[in-house]
Each structure stands twice: as C-alpha cells, then as structure tokens.
Structure 1
Amino acid sequence: MARASTGDTATSGIVVHPATHDRFDDLAAVIGPKRPDASVCWCLSHRIDAKTNTALRGVERGAFVERLTREPVAPGVLGYDGDEVVGWAAVAPRAQLPFERSRKIPHVDDQPVWSIWCIRVRPGRRGRGISHAMLAGAVDFAAAHGAPAVEGYPVDNGGERVDLTMAYVGTRALFERAGFELAAPTDAVSGGFPRVVMRKQLATR
C-alpha cells in the first residue's frame, strides 16, 4: 500500500492505520484494561505530564485517550492482520510530550522531531514481525504529517532478553533494522538496560 496522507501503510501483511476515533474500540483492545475501571497506563505515562497522569484514574484514563482520538492528528497507529487488531505504536511531536523536558533523554539538535516511545503487540501474536510493521507504520505516519526526523528511545540490550513488561520501548536492533542510527546515549534505564536515542532523518535539513 502506498503512503497516504493519513499515514496508512503495510508491512509483511500487517496493515497499519492511524488510531482515529472510529478505531477507538480497537485501540482499547490493545492498550486498555480488561476491566474498564482499572487504572492501567493507556499509554499516557509518557504522553502527559506526571501530575495529570497521576490524577487520571480508572475510566478517566480511557476517556482521555478517547478524546485524543478525536484530535485532527491521531495519537498513534494501529496494526491489523486481516480484520484483527494486533499492534499499536505511539507517535507524536516530541515538543508535545514530557520527553521535551526530560533531563535523562537529551535533545540531539533543534529539529522539531517526532518521538516513537511505545510499541505494543497483543499477547499471542508476538514473533510474527508485528513490531517491525508498527515501527514502519509510525515512521510513515510521522512523515505524512511533515516530521523532519523521527526518534525512538529503545534499550541497548546487546541481544539479551528484555522483560516483556518493559519491552514496549523497543530495542536498538529493532530500530536499526528500520533504518534508525544511534544519535546519542542517555541517562535513562529500562528493565536494567541503558536507553539510547535512535534517529531517522526523513527530510533534508
């Protein structure tokens, strides 16, 4: 599928679409809780400030994400294997995220980069290359919205096993296979591994 203005893309049979409001139920299936009133992350801990993130509880978290899907630019992308939703990737301008003010993850330069900070694959669907498709789809989505470059902050695990609860940040190898290059070390750690800034340039400076 050719890149469209919406950011639709396809990789290895997984079709990726923006997480628009009409797909909110699918988004909830990937990042929401089994019980609507449970206070799970909903992929908000790195999207909003710490005070707001702490204040949102239970169903309020899902309602906040539902409002995000109504915005002109979707909060990320969803991957489909046929009609089944199988993955999610969060992507947005870094300037809109807590990463903008992070003391642990440095700015490489002054470009208005977009960040990809969460890649989720639904349980039972791992090992099929879905994370690669989600990363590619997130890059295409950012490019379609004018991002000059895209960053990720994965772990540099050297091939060692990463705990699944922390695997959402991705690995350096995953980003390298998608054409990202090491841009900077960080002072951040996830799952016992150091995190690095991986950068993919999309437009000529």
Structure 2
Amino acid sequence: MAIEVRAASVFDDVATMVGPKRPDASVCWCLSYRLTSSKENLALRGPARGERVRELCRQSPPPGVLAYDGDEVVGWAAVHPRSDTSYARNRRIPHVDDLDVWSVWCIRVRPGHRGEGISHHLLAGAVEFAREHGAPAIEGYPVDNHGEKVDLTMAYVGTRTLFERAGFTRAADTTSVLNGFPRVLMRLDLR
C-alpha cells in the first residue's frame, strides 16, 4: 500500500471523510474547531455546513489534508493556523508562547482501512502541509491514554503515542478531558 497525502482541496473527497450520510444532517463536518465563532458554528445547520466546507476547500490553504490509497480517499486530517480556529480562544488548551503555530485537531481513517498506519501518514502529511505554508511550529491536543482503548468516536484527536512517534513532544498539560483521558498539548518545532 502506497499512501499519498495531499491538500484537501477536493470537496467530494472531504465530504466522503467528514460529511454525513444524509445531506440534511447537522453533523460536525470538522467545523466545530475550525470556525472561530461558536455563533457561526451553531447557526450552520444541515446542508449549510457542507457548503461552508466547500468554501474552505477553495481557499488557500484548504482546511486540511487527505490520504489516498491510489485513487481512493482513506483518511483526513484537519490542520490550519491556530489563530483561525476556536483553539485561539480555548480556555482549556493553553498557549505556550506567541508563535503563530498551526493546529492539527482531527485525524480520521475510513472504516476498512483502520489499523494500517494511515493515521501516521496523515499526521506526517499535516506536518509537511504546515511547513510548506510557513508554520513555525505545529501543535496537536491528543489524549494521554497510556495505551488504554479510546472510544472510536473520541479517537479523532489522536493519542500521545501517535504524536510522539511523529516527533512531537509534550509542551504543556491542559485542563481538557476527552473520553475520560486527559489531553496534552504536543508540539513540533518546524524552524
């Protein structure tokens, strides 16, 4: 298997990874953290959420990266400057310093492709994407699960081990807890 990670500029492929089965469903679409305004996030309902993602896919930079196995999309990672996300004002996830860091906050692998190391490719691709766009550093906020199983619906933030294997180090503790596990701020310097 040769996984290739590319910028998430193809809306249909992003929709495959984060969109709902029913177009009228008001699911996350990976917008909950991407939008800086909780008011906008709550106001977007049903198909309007998908249309907002379509707009983001046309922007530079697009909203993240996608992993492909040949022509088939098999994974997604949301990555963007922290200042353009809700993490800019998140009280539970601290700011380490004043650098204009990027954040990676969602890593998803399609069913049928899990357990193949695709999340490692996605995180490496997110790091490279941020580097190519001039990020001085990149952060993630995974759970510190000490090897215990994380509920699949909460696993999107990744694990501390995943980030450590990609070269990230713990930069700070947080007061955020997900699925009963504390989240840690992991960081990788890109300079």
Residue 29 of structure 1 pairs with residue 21 of structure 2:
no
Alignment of 1:92-171 (within 5 A): 92-171=80-159
Select the residue among 32, 46, 59 that pairs with 1:58: 46
SS, match of residue 154 in structure 1:
coil
Measured in 2, the distance between the counterparts of 1:28 and 1:111 equals: 32
**Could you tell me the TM-score, scaled by structure 2's length?**
0.98
Select the residue among 147, 150, 163 that pairs with 1:175: 163
Code of the aligned partner of 1:18: A
Task: Report the Cα offset of residue 110 of structure 1.
Answer: 1.0
Q: Which residue of the partner structure matches residue 31 of structure 2?
A: 44
SS, match of residue 123 in structure 1:
coil
Listed as ranges, the gaps of 5+ residues in structure 2 are none
Code of the aligned partner of 1:195: R
Measured in 1, the distance between the counterparts of 2:105 and 2:16 equals: 19
Q: After superposition, give the CA deviation of every residue in 1:86-111 in whole Å (9 maximum; x if it has no partner).
A: 00000000111110111110011111
SS, match of residue 66 in structure 2:
strand
Q: Percent sequence identity over matched residues?
A: 67
Measured in 2, the distance between the counterparts of 1:68 and 1:83 equals: 22
Task: Report the Cα offset of residue 68 of structure 1.
Answer: 0.5
SS, match of residue 58 in structure 2:
coil
Task: Report the Cα offset of residue 51 of structure 1.
Answer: 1.2
Select the residue among 18, 21, 31 that pairs with 2:7: 18
Q: Which residue of the partner structure matches residue 197 of structure 1?
A: 185
**Alignment coverage as a number of residue pairs:** 190
Q: After superposition, give the CA deviation of every residue in 1:38-77 in whole Å (9 maximum; x if it has no partner).
A: 1111000111121111111000000000000111211100
**Could you tell me the TM-score, scaled by structure 1's length?**
0.91
Measured in 1, the distance between the counterparts of 2:169 and 2:122 equals: 18
Code of the aligned partner of 2:181: F
Q: Which residue of the partner structure matches residue 186 of structure 1?
A: 174
Q: After superposition, give the CA deviation of every residue in 1:119-177 in whole Å (9 maximum; x if it has no partner).
A: 00011110000000000000000000000000000000000000000000000000000
Measured in 1, the distance between the counterparts of 2:97 and 2:40 equals: 28
Q: Which residue of the partner structure matches residue 75 of structure 2?
A: 87
Measured in 2, the distance between the counterparts of 1:201 and 1:86 equals: 27
Listed as ranges, the gaps of 5+ residues in structure 1 are 1-11
Measured in 2, the distance between the counterparts of 1:25 and 1:123 equals: 17
Code of the aligned partner of 1:14: I
Measured in 2, the distance between the counterparts of 1:159 and 1:13 equals: 27
Q: After superposition, give the CA deviation of every residue in 1:1-58 in whole Å (9 maximum; x if it has no partner).
A: xxxxxxxxxxx721000011xx111110110011111111100011112111111100
Code of the aligned partner of 2:86: P
